[in-house]
Structure 1
Amino acid sequence: MADRNAAFVGDIPKNYDRHLGPMLFHGYADDLAARVAMTDGMRLLETACGTGIVTRRLADRLRGRGSIVATDLNEPMVAHARTQMPTDSSHVEWQTADATKLPFPDRSFDAVVCQFGLMFFPDKAAGIREAFRVLKPGGQYLFNVWGAIARNPVQRIAHEVVGTFFPVNPPMFHTVPFSLHDPEPIRKMLAEAGFGQVEIAHLTKEGASPSAAEATIALTEGTPILGAIMDRRPEALDEIERATAAAIAAELGDRPVRIPLNAIVFQARRP
């Protein structure tokens, strides 16, 4: 499952958590965690946990009444996530794992949660099948994906600006998170995996960043686009960031930046 578009390494996890978290992810993490049906003694699996943004909210809701196994393919993301948890988090276990080849027995979890991870799985159907396999009968599968990039303007702006610097072989990372904006293929994969009671909700939120400059740092230094730029023209990074910040400020304002966001939330049950 290793992929350049999923390589969150170096300082990226820290920048992702510090800058991208409040700008893009916190509101959707609150929503996803609130949808989990918490029960005493439950076992909860999170795939593609990243820096633990959803994990922290799940742990707060569960309050030690059950256990959480938080997994991600990228060990640096898991390592950073560990450092962000409260000291009394013995009920949370961290593990590096491939969501398309989970190292867990059949029917071993009451719920599986994944925030903005499915888009990065090279085999999306396999990731959904694995969630089904490890869920107990009646278990809940909850995940979200981004809507179309046209409805998420800050990422669209970043993609367009980067493209002007690389007319040949442009970095494409900014488009990857929006590759599953049509819910129907996902609905079909859920049904083929065996899931029932599928519910789909389109959810708009507003993110924020203190400034266009900070939003730019989030988008360039908190994602694998940084590696793509450094591979092609490392000397252009500062210029790319200045141009991106100017474009964000021109379209969305500055100090602070108000950021329209659009995502799709899926809920399903294993019969």
Structure 2
Amino acid sequence: MPAAYEQYLVPVVFRPFAEDLTGRAAALRPRRILELAAGTGVLTSDLLTAVPSAEVTATDLNEAMVCFGSVRAPAAMWRQADVQRLPFPDESFDLVVCQFGVMFFPDRGAAFTEVRRVLTSGGRFLFNTWGPLRTHAFEAALQAGLERAFPVDPPRFLPTVPHGYDGPAVVAADLAAAGFTVQEEQELTLQGRAASTVDVATGYLTGTPLRAAVEECGEGPAVRATVVEEMAARLGPGPVTAPMTAYVFLAAA
């Protein structure tokens, strides 16, 4: 999964937003950075380049991602870690960053409380979340394809997890409950560029949790063909450029 994620999804979906977060992080001039849900290290690599004087610690719950990322961005310190029980002392970092990871936290209140614990007084928490599914053209088309392929019980991973925490007011309330002050909140739409819809479909169906849903049905090739057909009908076969909307938050401890 990490290899497919890195090859097909990172350049199209995640790199544009990693570049945005990197610019915001660098402007804060941090000395000690903790990255949560670092995945294969796209944001990690950019942070190391943009803030060379900072110490960067990258974490992910998934051991396979940590192994992959530590090769991709070896200058960072990599740790497998659960955000709800971070293995770091109080006030260890002056910046915590997370790209499209908070939606996966089972207990966001507990996670945000842990983030605040490891931040210095006045330290910042910088992260983004996806907007509603309809505002992410690639994933909206993909979900439509899945609903064609599974007319009775389609996989609900995309609408319930990546796009299941898309209310800025809810996010802000959760941050406030954990003791944060929201300093900035921005809706941001960037363009994703893919060589083909086949590549995008392959990335999602083999490099994300959707893979398990497809494998369980035992009809992987047929599902993939249906998804690609639907995505091509909506976006074109490729090269394709499509909008993706996210919310960016900066909060102070």
TM-score by length of 2: 0.95
Partner in structure 2 of residue 215 of structure 1: 200
Q: Secondary structure at the match of 1:104?
A: coil
Q: Aligned ranges for residues 161-240 of structure 1 at < 5 Å? A: 161-175=145-159, 176-231=161-216, 233-234=217-218, 236-240=219-223
Residue-pair matches, total = 251
Call closer, same or farther: CA 1:39–1:151 in 2, change over 3 Å: closer
Q: Is the 8 A contact 1:38 1:62 kept in 2?
A: no
| Moved segments of 4+, more than 2 Å | 37-40, 163-170
Q: Secondary structure at the match of 2:83?
A: coil
Q: Secondary structure at the match of 1:155?
A: helix
Q: What amino acid sits opposite 1:240 in the alignment? A: V
Q: Is the 8 A contact 1:119 1:145 kept in 2?
A: yes
Q: Is the 8 A contact 2:34 2:57 kept in 1?
A: yes
Partner in structure 2 of residue 113 of structure 1: 97
Q: Aligned ranges for residues 94-113 of structure 1 at < 5 Å? A: 94-113=78-97
Structure 2: state its 5+ residue gaps.
none
Q: Secondary structure at the match of 2:3?
A: helix
Partner in structure 2 of residue 29 of structure 1: 18
Partner in structure 2 of residue 39 of structure 1: 29
Call closer, same or farther: CA 1:199–1:38 in 2, change over 3 Å: closer
1:81-140 per-residue CA deviation (whole Å, 9 max, x = no partner) reads: 112126xx2xx1000000111111111101000000001111111111111111001111
Q: Is the 8 A contact 2:35 2:58 kept in 1?
A: yes
Query: d(CA) in 2 for partners of 1:17 and 1:160?
Result: 24
Structure 1: state its 5+ residue gaps.
1-11
RMSD: 1.4
Q: What amino acid sits opposite 2:87 in the alignment? A: P
Residue 217 of structure 1, CA deviation: 0.6
Q: What amino acid sits opposite 1:48 in the alignment? A: A
Residue 254 of structure 1, CA deviation: 2.4
Query: d(CA) in 2 for partners of 1:123 and 1:228?
Result: 24
Call closer, same or farther: CA 1:95–1:75 in 2, change over 3 Å: same
Q: Is the 8 A contact 2:21 2:127 kept in 1?
A: yes
For the pair 1:84 / 2:58, whether they are aligned, the reply is no
Query: d(CA) in 2 for partners of 1:61 and 1:142?
Result: 16
Q: Is the 8 A contact 1:43 1:66 kept in 2?
A: yes
Query: d(CA) in 1 for partners of 2:230 and 2:123?
Result: 45
Query: d(CA) in 2 for partners of 1:116 and 1:25?
Result: 9
Q: Secondary structure at the match of 1:243?
A: helix
Q: Secondary structure at the match of 2:85?
A: coil
Partner in structure 2 of residue 143 of structure 1: 127
Match of 1:152 among 126, 136, 146: 136
Partner in structure 1 of residue 240 of structure 2: 257
Q: Is the 8 A contact 1:43 1:111 kept in 2?
A: yes
Residue 170 of structure 1, CA deviation: 2.8
Call closer, same or farther: CA 1:243–1:229 in 2, change over 3 Å: same
Q: Is the 8 A contact 2:135 2:244 kept in 1?
A: yes
Match of 1:49 among 16, 38, 42: 38
Query: d(CA) in 2 for partners of 1:76 and 1:267?
Result: 29
Q: What amino acid sits opposite 2:196 in the alignment? A: S
Q: What amino acid sits opposite 1:50 in the alignment? A: G
Match of 2:6 among 14, 17, 21: 17
Match of 1:125 among 97, 101, 109: 109
Q: Is the 8 A contact 1:23 1:208 kept in 2?
A: yes
Q: Is the 8 A contact 2:145 2:231 kept in 1?
A: no
TM-score by length of 1: 0.89
